[in-house]
Amino acid sequence: MNRLQPADYIVFFLYFIVVSSYGYYIYKRKSKSVSNSSTEFFLAEGSLTWWAIGASLIASNISAEHFIGMSGSGFALGLAISTYEWMAAFTLILVAVFILPIYLKNHIFTMPQFLAKRYNDTVSTIMAVFWLLVYVFVNLTSIIYLGSLAISSITTISFEWSIVGLSFFAVIVTLGGMKVIGYTDVIQVIVLILGGLVTTYLAITLLSEKFGYGKDLWKGLSLLKEQAPTHFHMIFDKEHKYYPELPGLSVLFGGMLVNNLAYWGCNQYIVQRALGADLKTARKGILFAAFLKLLIPIIAVLPGIAMYVLYQNGQFQNEMTDLNHVIKPDHAYPTLMNLLPAGLKGVAFAALTAAVVASLAGKANSISTIFSLDIYQKFINPQASEKKLVGVGRWAVIISMVAAALVTPALKSLDQAYQFIQEYVGFISPGVLAIFLLGFFWKKTSSQAALVGAIITIPISTILKFLPTWTNGGFPDYPFLDRMSITFVLVAATMILISLFSSKKENNSHVIEVDSKWFKVSPSFMVGSVVISGILIALYTVFW
């Protein structure tokens, strides 16, 4: 039944009051610094603990695209979609060891700032504009869309009013600054994990009941593997129907690594959580986030697989198809949520809202950071006061959220939104990673090379995607993760060639300081990294 009961409203409003009250408390505790200091507002400098950093990383990352989109991909592809989460855990370790120290030791606060310091303002501005456009018109819109789709599916609230409500809630949280976002994200993560586990439990026990075993969780888990054996392979061969989405070993060493390194290491709204802390605290926070990443498939993928088994056995035929009887995988999670009893449905609803609002707030804060520090202060008002920058940042939050909300209804035609997001964000990720990695670790990389790399990334990605269509099959139709690998190699090779022919003076004019001593980690971090790596090896061995 697509409506909330009184018990659900009580649970949801309790969540809303707790988050709002705690956020207001954090805001007022140091209201003077939050209001007047740009570093405090944008970075919460020195204020976030390791557990707040880790929780905020996950809260900003996990959103409706995981609950709805990844469950939909679990329905269609199976456990293999978990590779985005599990390989991210490994990537977070690499970022903590090799990339984070370079930002912190060089006092980098924004990604465009790094590009300006390492290359020049032209490269920085081009990429700042790219990021702002992607954050607003891909990230914000897709999160609002999927969140609104879910809310309108499980309540009597319309899709349009769901857009308004989510956008408004996210703006309220974001206007308090990064400290408010960081600490409220701790509550958001607790709520989204608990609510996600409730929905997973329902899905597994529903499956057990369907096959006559009662509400037996462990039997339900074994039934998943028995009834959908093809949905429990992490690596697809070329004959697999969904090989274009997850092409074989590329999910380990190729495009997936490019995708994850660009996302976790060169992405403002992710890295920003750690930039206001010292290196030891930031690394502990990132390691905590890596452990949490291992859990996400349990709450995001398993429900989708359970719905696939139930659908194959005659359940939810109407709920999982549209008016034209086309299967809609992204309907899996909302359909499950509708089956929850009163009270628990409110918990799941709060979890979904928490995921959406936390992710929107994180992205909106990064939009305001880049616009205020890398566009407004640099080109419009270089003499802007700290208070003025914070004010501009708040207006940037409001305007970007309104723009995204207005564009959101255009996404209604999507089937698997998660894969759509990954593919089109991947149009710029390979070039971004090439520019950053060469900027970090090769002193000869020139500003001219970085500029060319920034310019050619999208054209190369576009050609690789659409040339097979234009030539009627005369050009290979590469899976999008393989296209990311090819684009990365082509951009990096082009940058290397240009740098080798650039003048010696230009090569050495903008070099970021890098010291190999920074890459040394503590024994506790090493132990945590080994544990995570061991778990990953075991998972891929069992489900290969």
Q: Does residue 540 lie in a domain region?
A: no
- Tell me the CB-side half-sphere exposure of residue 192, using CA atoms within 13 A: 32
Cα separation of 459 and 235, whole Å? 30
346: nearest Cα among 2, 10, 1, 65: 10
148 Rama class: left (phi>0) / alpha (psi -120 to 50) / beta: alpha
Q: Does residue 288 lie in a domain region?
A: yes
pLDDT at 43 (0 to 100) = 55
pLDDT at 35 (0 to 100) = 46
- Tens digit of each residue's pLDDT (9 = 90 or more) over 118-140: 888 888 888 888 888 888 888 88
In the beta sheet, which residues pair with residue 321? 327
Q: Does residue 441 lie in a domain region?
A: no
Total-model pTM: 0.83
3-state secondary structure of 270: helix
- Tens digit of each residue's pLDDT (9 = 90 or more) over 394-442: 899 899 999 999 988 887 766 555 556 667 777 888 999 999 999 988 8
CB 83 within 8 A of CB 490: no
In total, the chain counts a number of residues equal to 544
CB 434 within 8 A of CB 491: yes
Cα separation of 511 and 439, whole Å? 8
Phi, psi of 321 (to 5 degrees): -130, 160
Q: Does residue 234 lie in a domain region?
A: yes
**Number of structural domains, the chain?**
1
- Judged on CB neighbours under 10 Å (0-12, 13-18, 19+), 393 is buried
CA angle 385, 386, 390 (to 5 degrees): 115
287: nearest Cα among 44, 87, 79, 97: 97
Q: What percent of the chain has pLDDT over 90?
A: 17
* Block residue for tokens 């990605």: 461
Q: Does residue 450 lie in a domain region?
A: no
Q: Does residue 467 lie in a domain region?
A: no
CA angle 524, 528, 532 (to 5 degrees): 170
Interval 140-168 mean pLDDT = 84
Range of the domain at 276: 6-416
Sign of CA dihedral 305, 310, 313, 315: negative
Cα separation of 100 and 287, whole Å? 12
First to last CA, the chain: 39
Q: How many CB atoms lie within 10 A of CB 237?
A: 9
Cα separation of 265 and 269, whole Å? 10
Cα separation of 154 and 336, whole Å? 9
44 Rama class: left (phi>0) / alpha (psi -120 to 50) / beta: left
3-state secondary structure of 44: coil
- Residue 528 scores a pLDDT above 90: yes
- Judged on CB neighbours under 10 Å (0-12, 13-18, 19+), 474 is exposed
200: nearest Cα among 11, 332, 346, 359: 332
Cα separation of 455 and 294, whole Å? 36
CB 86 within 8 A of CB 294: yes
* Block residue for tokens 């310091």: 117
* Top-confidence residue, 414 or 260: 260
CB 306 within 8 A of CB 220: yes
Interval 163-186 mean pLDDT = 77
CB 271 within 8 A of CB 362: no
- Judged on CB neighbours under 10 Å (0-12, 13-18, 19+), 379 is exposed
Q: Does residue 177 lie in a domain region?
A: yes
CA angle 103, 109, 110 (to 5 degrees): 100
Phi, psi of 327 (to 5 degrees): -65, 130
pLDDT at 34 (0 to 100) = 44
* Block residue for tokens 């890398």: 374
445: nearest Cα among 487, 496, 491, 492: 496
> Which of 5-19, 148-162, 481-495 is modeled with the greatest confidence?
481-495
| Residue 311's pLDDT band (cuts 50, 70, 90) | confident
> By mean pLDDT, which of 400-409, 460-469, 481-490 is the weakest?
460-469
Cα separation of 387 and 271, whole Å? 24
- Residue 290 scores a pLDDT above 90: yes
Cα separation of 112 and 122, whole Å? 10
Q: Which residues of 490-531 form beta strands (DSSP E)?
A: none
Phi, psi of 352 (to 5 degrees): -65, -45
226: nearest Cα among 309, 316, 332, 317: 309
- Tens digit of each residue's pLDDT (9 = 90 or more) over 7-58: 888 888 888 788 778 777 777 765 544 445 556 566 555 567 888 888 878 8
44: domain CATH number is 1.20.1730.10
3-state secondary structure of 425: helix
pLDDT at 73 (0 to 100) = 84
- Residue 222 scores a pLDDT above 90: no
Q: Does residue 430 lie in a domain region?
A: no
